[in-house]
A and B are shown apart, each in its own frame.
Chain A
């Protein structure tokens, strides 16, 4: 239960307040407290804050490594997966869920043995608004979002990410946070040094 502190605000200051500049002094004490405090600046290129666990950054693909959900186990036989490669099944669910569907380019081919192989999974991140609907839509828990947020590039073509990029992200950045407890901040200690002690409600 959150406690609300109710403040009453008068339209005009009382006589004592206006003569002694009490409101001025109140403000000045606050800034003086800040002056004596340690700066809370994160000096960005030198030090970086770890993004929260649920941060929605650059997209990644979880790879075919034996941690698949049951939904994938059912159709595993019809797919031609490789170990350490994307476990996408090219169901187009992500594209269907996307508010801007044209940013996806997904292609799959039929292998000689009749199985399905995804050959292309491109995302034009310039059109992406990082809503995460594609991640929720994915039935085989393949598509995911990592904590990579420094995505500035020099050319538009570089903003399009391909399947091998996403496999790499899925194997590294996304896999690192995958099994962490579902808290906002991954590393409380690091956060406390920057922003002070946090009281969690749960």
Chain B
């Protein structure tokens, strides 16, 4: 009984910490992105609100919350509101299977810094990635607007194409690790002493493409192509209702997928113990934010593909390459491993 209460408390604390950290980070990533994008283009980014513009996310949040709630005519109201949650929840749920560091002991209990230590964590990531598409789809459908609808259709096409590639790309890592559990994947990388990016560079590049596509980042941001579709599926939303969508898709989704990528390819929290007891956590965050840096860097550099090119690219090039890579890995493991 005592054990059960302890476990429940630990899980509640984990959920609270993860929620607070991810939502806070999500808000502050807007500041980070704006600052970073500014400096990439030899601008300054936000400077006025607070030192280095650090209070900008708070100002933005206040501004979004005090906007007049406008609902356009002809909107499917239930779906219109549901779409917001459908977009936000899967993005947060992704963090349930993100291991933030190695397991440690408190009061004789072993605690793993992960909300849900699933055996099928990677499969869960794919599932939640696909679920996020429903938020976009419903938002586009419920808005009763051509721009929103075209944007959501594009997103659907994108998710259908890239989810397949994402699965095949990650599957070759799962083959190497022999497990879908994130802890097992990291442990097998620590045991062999080699990060899987060394064995699977092609798979990593494919994963990176899918990461960009799933989270609607350039060069695959066809669903919110500002030049053609105003801002795509969320054009009819206003105030904080609008703010949720970029938060969920651009920040939380990207952050979670970067964390998963660092688990799959960069050995999670593996690294020399130079920061004392927190070294695992710091290494994990460093790798995740390194990937995030790269994603933002790509976003603010490259132009956008055409919608047809994006889907064609996935089916004609990425999918065959990923299948060949997977079969090659399977043969390698069968004969050598």
Question: Which positions in A face B, CB cutoff 8 Å?
Answer: 24, 27-28, 30-32, 34-35, 37-41, 43
Contact = CB atoms under 8 A, between A and B. Distances in A.
A43 B48 CA distance: 10
29 contacts: A24-B298, A24-B301, A24-B302, A27-B301, A27-B302, A28-B298, A28-B301, A30-B301, A31-B41, A31-B297, A32-B40, A32-B297, A34-B40, A34-B41, A34-B42, A35-B36, A35-B39, A35-B40, A37-B42, A38-B42, A39-B38, A39-B39, A39-B42, A39-B44, A40-B43, A41-B42, A41-B43, A41-B44, A43-B47
Nearest to B41: A34
Contacts of B300: 31
A3 B40 CA distance: 29
Interface string B285-316: 00000000000011011100000000000000
Interface string B33-76: 00010111111100100000000000000000000000000000
A35 B40 CA distance: 4
A31 B47 contact: no
**Which of B40, B47, B298, B302 has most chain A Cβ within 10 Å?**
B40
Contacts of B36: 35
Contacts of A31: 40-41, 297, 300-301
Contacts of B38: 39
Interface string B112-126: 000000000000000
A24 B302 CA distance: 7
A43 B44 contact: yes
Contacts of B42: 34, 37-41
Please classify the interface of chain B as helix (H, G, I), strand (E, B), loop, or mixed, using the class held by over half of its residues: loop
Interface in B244-300: 297-298, 300
A24 B297 CA distance: 11
Contacts of B47: 43
A40 B38 CA distance: 11
A39 B43 CA distance: 5
Contacts of B41: 31, 34
- Chain B interface residue number, banded: 10 to 19
Given A31-B300, A34-B42, A39-B39, 19 more contacts: A24-B298, A24-B301, A27-B301, A27-B302, A28-B297, A28-B298, A30-B301, A31-B40, A31-B41, A31-B297, A32-B40, A34-B39, A34-B41, A35-B36, A37-B42, A39-B38, A40-B42, A41-B43, A43-B47
A31 B40 CA distance: 5
A32 B40 CA distance: 6
A35 B42 CA distance: 6
Interface string B153-185: 000000000000000000000000000000000
The 4 closest A-B pairs by CB, nearest first: A31-B301, A31-B40, A39-B44, A34-B42
B43 to A, nearest CB: 5
A28 B298 CA distance: 7
A24 B220 CA distance: 14
Contacts of A34: 39-42
A133 B297 CA distance: 48
A31 B297 CA distance: 8
A23 to B, nearest CB: 9
B296 to A, nearest CB: 10
A173 to B, nearest CB: 29
A14 to B, nearest CB: 16
B313 to A, nearest CB: 11
A41 B322 CA distance: 44
A35 B36 CA distance: 8
Interface in B10-43: 36, 38-43
Contacts of A35: 36, 39-40
B45 to A, nearest CB: 8
A34 B40 CA distance: 5
B213 to A, nearest CB: 15
A136 B183 CA distance: 80
A30 B300 CA distance: 11
Contacts of B43: 39-41
Nearest to B39: A35
A32 B297 CA distance: 8
Nearest to B300: A31
Contacts of B301: 24, 27-28, 30-31
Interface string B179-214: 000000000000000000000000000000000000
B153 to A, nearest CB: 27
Nearest to B47: A43
A31 B39 CA distance: 9
A125 B44 CA distance: 34
Contacts of A40: 42-43
A40 B300 CA distance: 17
**Which of A24, A32, A39, A40 has most chain B Cβ within 10 Å?**
A39
A35 B47 CA distance: 16
Contacts of A38: 42
